[in-house]
Amino acid sequence: MTRNLRFLILLLFVAPSLFAGNPDRQGEAGAYELVMNPWARSAGLHSINIGSVQGVEAMRMNPAGINRIRNTEILLAQTRYLIGTDIKLNALGLARKVGKHGAFGVSIMAVDFGDIKVTTDALPEGTGVTYSPSFFNLGIGYSHSFEKVNVGALIRVVTESTSDISSSGVALDAGVQYITGARDNIKFGIAIRNIGTPMKFKGPGLAKSIVNPDKGGYKLTYSVRGAVYELPSLLSIGLSVKSYLSEKHILTFDGGFTANSFAQDQVGLGVEYAFNKILMVRGAYKVEISDSNSKIQASIDNGPSAGISLDIPMKKKDVSDILGEEIESDMKVEKKDPPRFGLDYSYKLTTTFGGIHTLGIRLNL
C-alpha cells in the first residue's frame, strides 16, 4: 500500500469527526448559494461524485479534478431553482491545462431572484417599485497531478447585495482525488469547501431614523449593526467505480458522504450508464442522516435526481486511438478523445415547489 493511499484512508476515518454535522446550528450560516450546484452533470448525481468529478464542474465540488480534461473545457449553464419561485442560477466556467500535470480554472455563478416588490407598513401590497438582490461568486482554482493523486485548491470571492446594503467574504476549497484500478477506473475523493471569512451586512439601508426622545422633536439617524454569519462549510467524501461491460457500454457507480458544519449529514448513491461515450443517463438518491425523533426539517431537495447528456465528437478519432482503447487506462483514453460538444440536463425532485431543472452546454477542446 502506497504512502498516499494510507494517508487517504486515514482521512476517510478522521475527517468526518472533525466536520461532523451539527443539526443544532442548522440555519445559522449564510451564503447558502455556495452549496447550490449550477452544473447539470453533477447535479444529476446529486453532487455525490466527489471522486470522479472533473473539469469545470470540479470547481464547485472538488478542485482536485480540474485538470482531468482533454485540454480546454468551457461550460455554460442555467438552473431554474425551485420552479414557482422565479429564482435562477446562471453559471459560466473555463478550465485549461497548464503544463503537463496542471490545470487552471475560473468559474462564475450569479443568482437571479427576479423582480421583488418593495413593500412598506403603509403599502403592504407594494409601492409599485421592484428590486432584485445581487448574489455573485467568482472562483479561481488550480489542480496538479502526482502520478495517481490529484490535488487542487480554489479561492472564491462571495458578494451579496441590494441597492443599499452589501456583504462580502472569501472562501477556500481544497481537495484530493486518488486514482487506482487496472484501467484507472476506481477514484476516491475528499474535499473541504467554504472555509473562509465571516460575513456581515452593512450600508445605508441599515440606518434607522427616529424622533429624538428628548425635547426638540427633531429626528436622529441610528446605524443598526448587522449580525455576523459564517459560511456553510462542509466536508465531502466520495468513491467512484467504473465498470466496462464492453468498450461501448460503461457503468459508473458513485457513493458520497457529506458532513455539514451547519446542517445534518448527508449520504447518497448514484449510477451512470454511458453508451459509446456519446449518450449518458444518470440518477442518484440522497438522504440526510438524522435521529428518528429529530424535529429538524430535512433539506428541501432530499430524494431522487436524474440527468441525461449528449457528448458529440467534433471530429473522428484516429484508427490508432480506437485500436489502443482496449489496453489503455481510463485516463489515457480520455486524453485521446477528440474535441466534443455536449448538452446536459438534470432534474432534482423537491418536497415543495416544482423541482430543480438545470440545462448546460459544454465544449471540450
Confidence of residue 57 (pLDDT cuts 50, 70, 90): very high
Residue with cell 486511438: 321
Given a cut of 60, is residue 8 above it in pLDDT?
A: no
Given a cut of 50, is residue 246 above it in pLDDT?
A: yes
* pLDDT number for residue 81: 95
* pLDDT number for residue 212: 72
Q: If you average pLDDT over each of 59-63, 208-212, 323-327, 336-340, which comes out highest? A: 59-63
Q: Domains of the chain: which residue ranges?
A: 3-197+230-364
Contacts of 245 (CB under 8 A, 6+ apart): 251
Own/partner contacts of 83-91, CB < 8 Å, gap of 24 or more, are 83/353, 83/354, 83/355, 83/356, 83/357, 84/353, 84/354, 85/353, 86/113, 86/114, 87/111, 87/112, 87/113, 87/114, 88/112, 88/114, 89/33, 89/36, 89/38, 89/358, 90/38, 91/38, 91/39
Report how far residue 161's alpha carbon sits from residue 151's, in angstroms, rounded to the nearest whole number: 33
Mean pLDDT of 280-305: 83
* pLDDT number for residue 325: 47
Do 303 and 286 meet the contact criterion of CB atoms below 8 Å apart?
Answer: yes
* pLDDT number for residue 110: 97
Given a cut of 60, is residue 318 above it in pLDDT?
A: no
* pLDDT number for residue 327: 44
Given a cut of 70, is residue 29 above it in pLDDT?
A: yes
Given a cut of 60, is residue 199 above it in pLDDT?
A: yes
Q: Say which DSSP state 31 is in.
A: -
Report how far residue 187's alpha carbon sits from residue 175's, in angstroms, rounded to the nearest whole number: 13
Q: If you average pLDDT over each of 22-26, 80-84, 224-228, 260-264, which comes out highest? A: 80-84
* pLDDT number for residue 334: 59
CATH of 3-197+230-364, one of 3.30.70.100, 2.40.160.60, 3.10.450.240, 3.40.120.10: 2.40.160.60
pLDDT digits (tens, 9 = 90+) for 88-102: 999 999 999 998 899
* pLDDT number for residue 267: 94
pLDDT digits (tens, 9 = 90+) for 95-131: 999 988 999 999 999 999 988 888 888 888 888 888 8
Given a cut of 80, is residue 47 above it in pLDDT?
A: yes
Given a cut of 80, is residue 167 above it in pLDDT?
A: yes
CA 316 from chain centre, in angstroms, equals 32
Report how far residue 229's alpha carbon sits from residue 109's, in angstroms, rounded to the nearest whole number: 21
Higher pLDDT, 328 or 191: 191
CA 80 from chain centre, in angstroms, equals 15
Mean pLDDT of 168-187: 93
**pTM attached to this predicted model:** 0.87
Given a cut of 60, is residue 18 above it in pLDDT?
A: no
Residue with cell 451586512: 201
174-209 per-residue burial string, b: 16 or more CB within 10 A, e: under 16: bbbbbbeeebbbbbbbbbbbbbbeebebeeeeeeee
* pLDDT number for residue 324: 45
Do 221 and 208 meet the contact criterion of CB atoms below 8 Å apart?
Answer: yes
* pLDDT number for residue 326: 45
Given a cut of 80, is residue 165 above it in pLDDT?
A: yes
Sign for the CA dihedral angle at 180, 181, 187, 188 comes to: negative
Share of the chain above pLDDT 90, in %: 60
Do 174 and 192 meet the contact criterion of CB atoms below 8 Å apart?
Answer: yes
Given a cut of 70, is residue 73 above it in pLDDT?
A: yes
Mean pLDDT of the chain: 86
